Structure 1
Amino acid sequence: MIGSIIYGETCQGTLNYVFGKKGMRILGYGNIYSQDISKRFFGDVLHFQGQRNATKNRYAHISLNLPHGEHLDDATFLKISNEYMDKMGYGEQPFVIVRHNDTKHEHVHIVTTNVNEEGKVLGIYNSYRKNMATTQYLEKKYGLIPTQRAKEEKELPLYRLPELKIDVDNTQGTRFYIQDVLKTILQKYEVRSFKELARLVRPYHIEVKKTKSQSGRIGIAFGLNNRQGYRTRFINGSSVHRQLSGPKLQKVFDIHLRSKQLPMHRKRLLKQIETTYNLFKTIKPHDLEEVLREYQNIDVRLDTNGDTIEGYTIYDKSRYIFRERELSKNIRMLNRLDIFGNDDEPTTIDTESKQFKLEVQKLLKEAFRSSYIKSKKQRGLFSDYIANIHPKDVSKHLLESKGFQFLHRYVPKDQKEHLKMAFANAYPKVRDELYERETKREEETLKNKFRLIGKVLEKQVFNVGKKGGSVRHLFQSLGVRYHNDKLLFADSDKHSLPAHIGKLDFPQDMQEYVSKLFVRQNHLILEMLTEQSPGNTSKPTAAAIFLPMVFPRLYERVNPAYRYKFDSISLEAYVQYAERVHAPFEKSPKDYVGFFNAKGFYFEKGEKGFRVKSIYTDQNASYSLSKRTGRYLDSIPNLTAVLRDQDRVISTLAEDRRDNLKNLWAGYLTEKGLYNSVAYMVTNENIEPNLHKEIVQHHMENGLQKAIREAITKKSIMEQNRVLRKSAHNVVSVSNSRGESEEAYNGFKDELTDWTKRKRKKGRGLSF
């Protein structure tokens, strides 16, 4: 179910449209003393209440649309609509629910006001998030078909288009249809001209007429012409909506035209398309859309005039739209008959081209990297992995890649063997070049780590030193180690730098393995703490907040001033992540607070706005919410009581001993969908995820409950086997006491530690 909300300054036109549709049915009224009232009376009530405030967003026009093929009876649709209004904060407002049957998609219209009886405007902040969460909640509750919510995959609304000539002067119906289409198009694309806008609205039977007054003022008008006997008069853009007047649209177009990113997008697209042309010998015009989509992830549509293809239009991921002629005349289909002129020939790749050879090398490099990433725990450096990996492992990942499958599809049938040979021949060169490049990169990385360690020690970020070997915790957290007056990577002896520190003791509680994910996060954090972070560096992710859990012996030695700074940085990263994760569930600002409270985060309101703190970080560390989010929280009717109630939630977490980062980590893994890991923590370590019960229930239904059941069963079987092994050991001990025993087979020693089996032999090539 898709919910759409349009705010406006008046309501009469909306009501005329909603009530005036042929075949409409009023399902019910909300917060009106009687259901047996006239439409005119309701309009007077709504108008009177909305005029109590001078805001421009006095009224709301909401539509709830079901996917094609889904059906609801009137009673159920009314019930869902009432619940939607309650969840969105309109539960005490006057509203009407009207069902239309003029489209293939069943839908209702709801008209209400944003002004309450006291003349105050309702909190409509973050209405997009509330709408998304509410519709998802109702889908789940009533068993409706889930709707794809990715913005780029939403289709423009084709509903409410008049199909027959019923009323040429049906201005209100025309106005709201045009408003819906234009609103969606201007949100989806960075339109740069009236001409471009006219092309985009043409499939929706909307015509655009541009005018210019004697004073030079630009005007715009819109009309409908479905070429089936229905044609309306043109309506001024400002009458359709105040933001759709000629001057305001021109201002938007000028902003898009002046964007500094526009030339970069043109240059990028031109290079991608030229690369594609260089790869192919022939392309059937009708195959171009599929070729560019699969090879370059570019969305193009052919421009046709009858049966003639005149070119194509590019709908770029940047939201800009380009015609082929706008990028370069050299890529126009009419000027590249060497590629597009052989319509009788199938679309084929030129296996003798330079681009084909480059593509083979690129796919091989990706296969090396993919196999390394998917290897167990990524032991060792990438260069070591390249030197020792068996070609069959690379071949496996290569054959599974989309790039290889793309090449295989368009290589001529009689050249399939040539394709395999091309990869086999390129393998040694690619391996050696990749090995050399990664070796140089690793050398520079080790130098950067050496400099960073020096800066950390100089600024005394951590209270570590030679005594007790505590400085080794710092080395380990950055993925390096100290041995024989040298600094080396933790899992390789290949690179080293002289570091004359002297003899260092080994702490008794040194960890054996550290995740490279957290090594990268710690490196970013330490660069920020020592102000060594370059301008284009990546920002820490939500995982940064867990560093004290991963490196406890190091972060328990952090100096207070740097602890405060670390907590503030990691808190910001986690809050920004959590806001995105909560959005599909967040039906109100009260939910916003509740979801964070359940995780161990709480809010304080001061003179400068809202700040968020956590039970896992320094109490003085906080992250200031944006002003918009602050206004969103201010819209909670009983805000003081909600903020006061946080103490109860936080105290409960402490009483249940869930004020530990491990509980937050379990919640983080749950949100990532790593249910098996969470199930292990729940069943073997008694660690419950710190998440709101609504979100926990969602994940339980999505697979977490199944994973926990399997983990419980597995644990039970393991305990039974342990008892049996203990009994068997006692029997064997008695038997062995009577004679000589044989050495038991050690699978770990014989199979996993025999590194001679894994050494790369010279002369091995890529095989398929």
Structure 2
Amino acid sequence: MMGKIPKSGKSFKGCVEYCMLKKDAVILDATGLRTGEVKHTIADFNMQRKMCPGLGQAVGHIALNWSPEDSAKLTDELMVNIAKEYLKKMKISDTQVLMVRHHDTDHDHLHIVYNRVDNEGKTISDANQRWKNVKVSKALTLKYGFHMAEGKDRVNRHRLKGADKVKYQIHDQIKAILPNVKSMDELKKQLAMQGIKMHYKYKGGTQEVQGISFSKGEYQFKGSEIDRSLSYGKINKMISDRMEEKLPQPKSLADELREVLKQSGQQTHYLKQEPKPQYLGQEPKTNYLGVLGIDISDDVDDEAIYGRNRRRQEKARTNTR
């Protein structure tokens, strides 16, 4: 289940007529309103809004939508109970409310029209409504065991209007651009070319970025409101991780030595398993290149070393006679 919240409106007439006069529309519940005739319902809404004449956008409108997979369990009574629980969690109370069920799509949905001027003449706030809507919708979906959508790819975008349409447009543009940018600044420039502005939220009195939001036209959304993967931290990490993967890995000392020897024209060999024989009078030498798998013993004239040592031994015996 997910709630959709159009922008607050000014005319109860247009909203009520749309909900009540739709083909096969069924009025499920009404609080503080007459529903015998559409004109009476509109008049009742307008009468209460006069208690706060300075509020231009007094029309509250929410559509609760369920997945087709939930149709078998959705009765009129259950939909009304869930709608009332939804309104309570959204802190919409003590006001006129109209609930109308429509059957014009392949999924069940319920329209809620309410007066933002409550029964005491006070204004019902609509601040952060879309953010609260996501949290409340998810909580009720889990509570009642409704179908949980698998992702935004399955959303029928051609049916979206207003804020929801813009939100998905922003989502799709960011997802298309993000894999190819090398920095947050580049992402900002690429989005600007598509008419989307990127805004940073800074920690009070500092230049430390705490959050990010995106806007197009009159609508603005937090990154995490568009999609969980589009928070500032996750976007920044995604770009950073991808750029680190493209950086050349540093060479080891052994690789650098091998490359130097190769460029100087010397041949490299794997270290032989059998040790070289030691000759009389010759001190064993440490082959440091052998540690790296390089054997330079082929450059030594073994016969010359053996002859030199033999002559030294004969000379020593002659001197002792």
Normalising by structure 1, we get a TM-score of 0.23
TM alignment of 1:527-538, pairs within 5 A: none
State the shift of 1:15 in Å. 0.7
Q: Which amino acid aligns with 1:94?
A: Q
Task: Give distance in 2, aligned partners of 1:762 and 1:92.
Answer: 84
Higher relative contact order (CA 8 A, sep 6+): 2
Per-residue deviation, residues 331-359 of structure 1 (Å, max 9, x unmatched): xxxxxxxxxxxxxxxxxxxxxxxxxxxxx
CA contact (8 A) 2:12 2:46 kept: yes
Look up the SS of the partner of 1:93 in the other structure: coil
TM alignment of 1:335-354, pairs within 5 A: none
CA contact (8 A) 1:189 1:321 kept: no
Task: Give distance in 2, aligned partners of 1:28 and 1:103.
Answer: 21
Task: Give distance in 1, aligned partners of 2:133 and 2:110.
Answer: 15
Look up the SS of the partner of 1:318 in the other structure: helix
Question: Structure 1 126/19 Cα, relative in aligned 2: closer, same or farther at 3 Å?
Answer: same
Which of 96, 99, 113 pairs up with 1:97? Answer: 99
Which of 84, 88, 91 pairs up with 2:90? Answer: 88
Task: Give distance in 1, aligned partners of 2:62 and 2:85.
Answer: 14
| Partner of residue 19, structure 1 | 20
Look up the SS of the partner of 2:134 in the other structure: helix
State the shift of 1:83 in Å. 0.8
CA contact (8 A) 2:96 2:119 kept: no
Q: Does 1:57 align with 2:57?
A: yes
State the shift of 1:37 in Å. 5.0
TM alignment of 1:557-706, pairs within 5 A: none
* Deviant stretches of 4+, over 6 Å: 292-295
TM alignment of 1:454-603, pairs within 5 A: none
| Partner of residue 141, structure 1 | 143
Q: Which amino acid aligns with 2:110?
A: V
Q: Does 1:387 align with 2:252?
A: yes
Task: Give distance in 1, aligned partners of 2:81 and 2:38.
Answer: 21
Per-residue deviation, residues 715-760 of structure 1 (Å, max 9, x unmatched): xxxxxxxxxxxxxxxxxxxxxxxxxxxxxxxxxxxxxxxxxxxxx9
Question: Structure 1 127/153 Cα, relative in aligned 2: closer, same or farther at 3 Å?
Answer: farther
| Partner of residue 124, structure 1 | 126
Per-residue deviation, residues 607-654 of structure 1 (Å, max 9, x unmatched): xxxxxxxxxxxxxxxxxxxxxxxxxxxxxxxxxxxxxxxxxxxxxxxx
Task: Give distance in 2, aligned partners of 1:134 and 1:3.
Answer: 9
| Partner of residue 202, structure 2 | none
Q: Which amino acid aligns with 1:115?
A: V
TM alignment of 1:338-377, pairs within 5 A: 366=245
Q: Which has the higher helix share?
A: 1
Q: Which amino acid aligns with 1:61?
A: H
TM alignment of 1:198-209, pairs within 5 A: none
Question: Structure 1 79/16 Cα, relative in aligned 2: closer, same or farther at 3 Å?
Answer: same
Look up the SS of the partner of 1:61 in the other structure: strand
Look up the SS of the partner of 1:99 in the other structure: strand
Question: Structure 1 761/37 Cα, relative in aligned 2: closer, same or farther at 3 Å?
Answer: farther
Task: Give distance in 2, aligned partners of 1:295 and 1:149.
Answer: 18
CA contact (8 A) 1:148 1:154 kept: no
Question: Structure 1 366/41 Cα, relative in aligned 2: closer, same or farther at 3 Å?
Answer: same
Look up the SS of the partner of 2:105 in the other structure: coil
State the shift of 1:26 in Å. 1.1
| Partner of residue 42, structure 1 | 41
Q: Which runs of 5+ in 2 are unaligned?
A: 182-188, 196-241, 260-290, 295-321
Task: Give distance in 1, aligned partners of 2:245 and 2:77.
Answer: 56
Q: Does 1:318 align with 2:298?
A: no
Task: Give distance in 2, aligned partners of 1:75 and 1:761.
Answer: 80
Look up the SS of the partner of 1:140 in the other structure: helix
CA contact (8 A) 2:100 2:110 kept: yes
State the shift of 1:31 in Å. 5.1
For the pair shown, which has the larger CA radius of gyration, 1 or 2?
2
Per-residue deviation, residues 91-142 of structure 1 (Å, max 9, x unmatched): 3211111111101121111111111123221122111121111101111111
State the shift of 1:185 in Å. 4.0
Normalising by structure 2, we get a TM-score of 0.51
Question: Structure 1 139/121 Cα, relative in aligned 2: closer, same or farther at 3 Å?
Answer: same
CA contact (8 A) 1:61 1:109 kept: yes
